[in-house]
Structure 1
Amino acid sequence: MSTSRHRMPFGAELDDGAVRFRLWAPAAERVAVEISNGDAEPHLLDLTPAGNGWFELTTEAAGPGSRYGYRVTGAQSDGRLPLPDPASRFQPEGVHGPSEVIDPTAFCWHQTGPGSDWRGMPWQTAVIYELHVGCFSREGSFAGAARRLQQLADLGVTAVELMPVAAFPGRRNWGYDGVLPFAPAASYGRPEDLKAFVEQAHALGLMVLLDVVYNHFGPEGNYLHLYAPQFFTDRHQTPWGDGINFDGDGSPTVRDFFIQNALYWIEEYRLDGLRLDAVHAIADDSPTHILTDLARAVEAGPGQQRRVHLVLENDANEAHRLKGDARSPGRYAAQWNDDFHHAAHVLLTGERDGYYADYAEAPARSLGRCLAEGFAYQGEASGFRHGEPRGEPSRLLPPTAVVNLLQNHDQVGNRAFGERLPQLTRPEAVRAATAVLLLAPSPPLLFMGQEVAADSPFLFFCDFGPDLAEAVTAGRRREFSRFLRFADEAAQQAIPDPNAPATFARSRLDWSDLDQPEHRAWRSFHRRLLALRRTEIVPRLVGMGGASGTAVVIGETGLSVRWQLGDGATLQLFANLGERELADAALATPLAALAPTDRLHMEPATAESALAAGRLPPWGVAWYLTPAASAASAASAATPEPEQAG
C-alpha cells in the first residue's frame, strides 16, 4: 500500500497529531476557527496574525473528520457566521456548510495488481471520453461511474475526462459554477470515492483527466470577497464579472492558490492531467503569464515522476501555448479544437447561425485546414467577432497538439433543447464524420453516450438558491430570444428550466435503453474504428512533427488529406461530407495510385465500386495507409493540388 499527499501552504493540514489552520484574509481584523467534533461543544480558537494578510493556528483540538469554519471579523464580515475554508478538502453539507478536516494519507493506494506501477501513458495514445459524473450512471456518483469504466476500456477509450467536480451550490450543476476548488462535490461522494475511481481507471489502463476552472468562481457560495477582495480585480472583466487578480497587488498569493490547486489534484488524486476551462478569459499582464507558471510548476513537480498532460480550452487559438516538441517548457500538450467541431457541424447539419457563420462560406476548406494544420483560424478576421483577428499559425505544431471532436458538453448542452448530433442529421452523415474523427492523427474526444448514439439530451442544469435560480432561468430563455425560432415568448417558455430536477433527470444516460440493438451497433462501429486506430495509427504517431499534413478541397463538400507519419508511412483520407456523389480528377488520380490492400476503412460498406471508379458516394469516406517503402511512389503519382485548404 502507498499514500499520496500534497502539502498545501494554506487550509487545514494534519501535522504530528495536530491540525494547522491557515487563511489568507488581508481585509480581516480578526480570524477565529470554530471546530466541532460532533460530541462536544464547538471550540472557538483565534488564529494568530502572521503578516501579509495571513492568519494561522496549530491545535490538537481538531483531527481527521472534524468540522470547522472560519469566523472572520472586519471589512464586510461581522464574524457571527462560520465561513467555509476556501482550501477545504471536503464540504459534507455543501458549499454553505462547515468544512471537514481530511487526512489524505488515510486512503491506501494498492501497490500490487493492475495499475500498481502506473506512470501514465504517452499523449499520442489518447482517446478521450468526456463525462459528467452526475449523469453518467444511474447512481450519479464516483462509485457509479467507476462501475462503467470497464465498458470504456473495452470500447478503446484510453483517457476519461471528468467535467469539473469541485464543490458547487446545490445538488446538481455542470461544475463550472464551482466555488471551493479543492473539495470534490459531496453530491458525487467523498474524496476517497474519487481516489477509488482513479485507481480503478488505472487498473484498466485508463488515464484520468479533470476539467478545472481557473477563470472565475461561481455566483453562489463564494465568500472570498468578504475577507480577501484582492482575489479579484476590476481592471480585467470577464463574462462573469470582475476578473481574478493574477497581476495586481496581492496577486502572488492568488497565483499560488491556483498553482497549488493544479498540483493538489495531480499529486493527491494521482490524476494524469487537467483540462483548463476557457483560458481566453484569464487576463494576466504579468511578465510571465499564470498559464506558463502553472505548467512549469507541474513539469518541475509531478511531471518529473510520471507523464502528466495539461490541455487547454482557448478560443483565442494561441498556438504559442502548445508544445511543438518535447523541449517546450511551460507549454501545454494540446487544445480542444472548436474549429474542427464548427466546420464539421456546418457540413453535417447545414446550421449557419451564431458562431457557425464563420465557417458557412467554405466549411470543407475549414475542416481540411483543421485536419492538416490544427486550427482553421490562424490569424484571419472573424466575422462573428466583429472582424477581429483570431488565432495564430499552427501549421508547425504536430497533429497531437489539438483534440478534435464532434460533440462535447458545450456544443450539446448549450443548445436550447440539448440535442445530440444524431438528432440533427442523418445516420450516414454521423458515421462518415465519426470515421474521419477517429482515424485522423489528432487525439479524438467522445462525449458520454456518443459511442452509442444516445437519444437522451444533455441540457443545461443547476440548483441555485431561489433568487438566483429565477434570474438564471430568465437569462437562459432571454439568451435564445435572438434566434428566430425563439422570438415569441411561448417558444422561450418551452426551453427547459435549468433549476428543475426534471431537467437534470432527462440528461442522465439510461444504460438499459442504450443496450438495444441499434445502440449496440453504434458501439460496435466505434469499437472497430478505435481498434484500427490503436493498431495502425497510434504506433506511427511517434516522431510525427509539424507541417506533416496537406489538404485539398474537392467540390463543396469533399476533402483529400495526406499526412506523413512518424515512421515514414503515408496516411490518406478521402471524404465526401455531402449528399451528392463526388467525381473529380483531384479525387480519381490519387485514388488510382493507391492499392486496395492499403485501404484501412471505407464508408459506406458498399463504396468499393465507386472508389474503383475514382468516385466517392454521398457521405463517403476512405482511409488508406501506405507503408514507408511504397509511400514515395504513391506520392509521385499525385497531380498538382487544385485548391489548398491551408
Structure 2
Amino acid sequence: MADGRVRFALWAPSCQQVELELRDGGLQPMQAQDDGWYVALIECPADTAYRYRIDGQWPVPDPASRRQIEDVHGFSQVVDHSAYIWHHRDWNGRPWHETVLYELHVGLFGGFQQVIEHLPHLADLGVTALQLMPLNAFSGTRNWGYDGVLPFAPANAYGTPDELKQLIDSAHAYGLMVFVDVVYNHFGPDGNYLGVYARQFFHEERITPWGAAIDFSRPQVRDFFCENALMWLLDYRVDGLRLDAVHAIDDDDFLKELAARVRSALPQQRQVHLVLENEHNAAHLLRDGFDAQWNDDGHNTLHALLTFENESYYADYAQAPTRKLATCLEQGFVYQGQANRHGLPRGEPSADLPPHAFVLFLQNHDQVGNRAFGERLTLLAEVDALQAATVLLLLCPMVPLLFMGEEWGSKRPFLFFTDYHDELANAVREGRRNEFADFSQFNSSHTREAIADPNAEASFQRSQPDLAPALEPEQREWLAFYRGLLQVRHSRLLPGLEQARSLGAQVLGDGAVLARWRLGNGPALSIAINLGTSVVSLPAEAMHGERLYTLRIDDADLRQAQLPPRSALVTLEPVR
C-alpha cells in the first residue's frame, strides 16, 4: 500500500478462522469481515514470505499469490509491482489488424530470459505479437500450461516476475505485442486449495472433466478472474489476453463484464486486445467487447483437406471440406447453427463480422499437442499442399497465428507433458491414453500403450524446439518462404486490412477455392488455392490485376486459365 504496509485478504466463507503465517515465524489472526472475507494489515517489506492457516490446521498458499517461493504448495511472496522500472513506458500497443501471432511455450525455450534471445528472430520474420502459453504456477517443474492452480503467479520454472517484465519490455522494444493465454474455466489437479476454505467458489453439483464447475454467478469469483486479467494488463503491461476454452465457462454475462472492466480500466491510448477460444462459435461476443476468436472451423477444414483425417471431431469437416473452406473464407465460421455429428446445433451467424474477427492457423498447441504423438503437419501433409495452405494463412485478411518452429518446418513433436507423481501420475497417464480410444489406431489398450507417458521427462525434452534453424538448408528455405509471405502482407495488404470485407468465395474443384475481399483502401484481393491433385479452371476474376504472389503456377497456366495441383495465385486488383 502507499504507506508501506501490506494488506492481506482471503475470501474463505466455508471456514471459521484464518491466520496469517509468516515464514520467519509467528501467526497473526486475520479479522473476519462481511461476505466471508478475512483481512490483516501489517507492516512488512516486499519479498516477505507468507501463507494462510485455515481453522488452525490447514496451511495454504494465497490463491492470488503474485509469486511462490518454491512450489504451489508452499509459501507465497509479497511482490511490489510498482518497483520495476519500465524502459518503454510510452508503448501503447499496435492496432489489431496489424497482428501476426506467434504462439510459444516459455518452458520449452528455457525460461523468460531465453525467450528474450529469440525476439530478434521473430521481429525479422515479420511477427508482430508474441503469444505466451499459460504462465500461471503449476505443480512440479514442467507442464504444458493448462494445469495451473495459482493464476496470479508466474511459474517459478520460467523465472521471476521481474524477468517476465523484462521479456515484455524487450518485446516492446522490437515493436512486438505480447499476449498471455489465461485459463479461467478450470484449475489443475494438484495444488488448488480453494475447496478447503471456499467451497462456494464451485458448483459442487455440476461436474466437469476437471472437477466441480466454477460458480461465476458469485461476485467474488468474477472479481478474482477480472482482477487477474487486469493484473496482466496493468502490472505486466501485456497487450492482450487469449481466454482459453470459454465454452466451459458458459456464462456470457461474466465474459461481457470482464471485457467491460478491461476497457474501462485502461487509458484510451492503450490498444489492448481480447481473443476467445470458444467451441460454441458465439458470434455475438465478437460484437460485444472481444476482438476475435480462434477459428477452429478454419483449421479443422484445412487439416481435413491436407491430411484426409476423418475421425473424432474431424468427422464434422471431412464431408464436403472444400465447400466448408469456401464458407469459412466468406463468412468466418463454418458452423453457424447447423447440427454437428452428434446432432447438436452449434454456432451463430457470423457473415457480418470482419475477417479480422477470426484468428486462423494451421497448427497450434491444441491441434498438435492433443494428437497422440504430437505430430506437426510437416509429417502429416505433403509439403506442396502445406505451402499452398500457408499462402492462404499468411495473405488472407484473417489474423494469422504461427506455432513455434512452424516457420522453419520443424518436425519436432509437441507432446502433452506434466510432472505428476504416484497415483495422480498414473491417473493422468491412463486418462491421456484413453482419450484416443475413439480412434481406430488406438482401439485397444495395447496400441494405446505406445502413447508417451506425459510425466516422463523425455516427453518434455522431445518437445523442445530445435532453435538453430539456419543451420539446415531445408529449414532456411522454410524461413525464407514465411518471411517472404509476411513481407508481402505488411508491405502490400496492411493498409487495407482493418476495413476488409468479403466479396464471396467459390469452389473451383476438389480441394480448390477462390476467395475475394474488398480491402479498406480500395483494391480487391483474390486468393485462389488448389490443395487437390487435379488441375482446375480459373475464373476471370481470379486473374485480374497485379500478381501479388504465385506458388507453383506460371504464365502458361495463366494463359490457359488453369490452377495446377498444390498451387496458389494471389492477385490485387486496383480501384477502377
| Helix, strand or coil at the partner of 2:345 | strand
Corresponding residue number in structure 2 for 1:304: 268
CA deviation digits over 1:359-395, x for unaligned, max 9? 1111111111111111011111111xx1111110100
> Match for 2:333 among 372, 375, 381?
375
Q: Output the TM-score relative to the length of structure 2.
A: 0.98
Corresponding residue number in structure 2 for 1:390: 346
| Helix, strand or coil at the partner of 1:230 | helix
Question: How do residues 50-449 of structure 1 correspond to structure 2 at under 5 angstroms?
Answer: 50-60=33-43, 62-73=44-55, 79-110=56-87, 115-135=88-108, 137=109, 140-247=110-217, 251-284=218-251, 289-302=253-266, 304-323=268-287, 330-383=288-341, 386-449=342-405
Distance 2:183 2:367 in 1: 18
Corresponding residue number in structure 1 for 2:417: 461
Question: How do residues 604-615 of structure 1 correspond to structure 2 at under 5 angstroms?
Answer: 604=552, 606-615=553-562
Moved more, 42-51 or 434-443: 42-51
Letter in 1 for 2:518: Q
Count of paired positions = 576
Question: Is the contact between residue 356 and residue 498 of structure 2 (CA under 8 Å) also seen in structure 1?
Answer: no
Report deviation, 1:81: 4.1
Distance 1:202 1:589 in 2: 44
Question: Is the contact between residue 588 and residue 613 of structure 1 (CA under 8 Å) also seen in structure 2?
Answer: no
**Structure 1 unaligned runs (5+)?**
1-13, 74-78, 324-329, 630-646
Corresponding residue number in structure 2 for 1:34: 21
> Match for 1:526 among 482, 497, 507?
482
Distance 2:46 2:146 in 1: 29
| Helix, strand or coil at the partner of 2:324 | helix
Question: Is the contact between residue 408 and residue 469 of structure 2 (CA under 8 Å) also seen in structure 1?
Answer: no
Distance 1:530 1:104 in 2: 36
Distance 1:303 1:623 in 2: 39
Question: Is the contact between residue 607 and residue 617 of structure 1 (CA under 8 Å) also seen in structure 2?
Answer: no
> Match for 1:556 among 498, 510, 514?
510
Question: Is the contact between residue 397 and residue 500 of structure 2 (CA under 8 Å) also seen in structure 1?
Answer: no
CA deviation digits over 1:223-279, x for unaligned, max 9? 0000000100035443322211112xxx01111111111011100000001000000
Q: Output the TM-score relative to the length of structure 1.
A: 0.87
Question: Is the contact between residue 102 and residue 129 of structure 2 (CA under 8 Å) also seen in structure 1?
Answer: yes
The 3 A distance-change label for structure 1 pair 276 and 303 is farther
Distance 2:466 2:380 in 1: 20
Question: Is the contact between residue 312 and residue 438 of structure 2 (CA under 8 Å) also seen in structure 1?
Answer: no
CA deviation digits over 1:47-100, x for unaligned, max 9? 01122111111112x321111010010xxxxx3342100010001201011001
Distance 2:453 2:407 in 1: 28
CA deviation digits over 1:467-503, x for unaligned, max 9? 1111010111112233221223332111110000000
Question: Is the contact between residue 26 and residue 54 of structure 1 (CA under 8 Å) also seen in structure 2?
Answer: yes
Letter in 1 for 2:555: E
> Match for 2:497 among 512, 524, 541?
541
- List 4+ stretches of structure 1 deviating above 4 A: none
Corresponding residue number in structure 2 for 1:617: 564
1:599 aligns with 2:547: yes
Letter in 2 for 1:26: P
CA deviation digits over 1:309-350, x for unaligned, max 9? 000000000100003xxxxxx420000000010100111111
**Structure 2 unaligned runs (5+)?**
none
| Helix, strand or coil at the partner of 1:264 | helix
Letter in 2 for 1:97: G
Report deviation, 1:542: 3.0
Distance 1:588 1:246 in 2: 52
Cα RMSD of the aligned pairs, angstroms, is 1.4
Percent identity (aligned): 51
Distance 1:416 1:53 in 2: 44
Corresponding residue number in structure 2 for 1:638: none
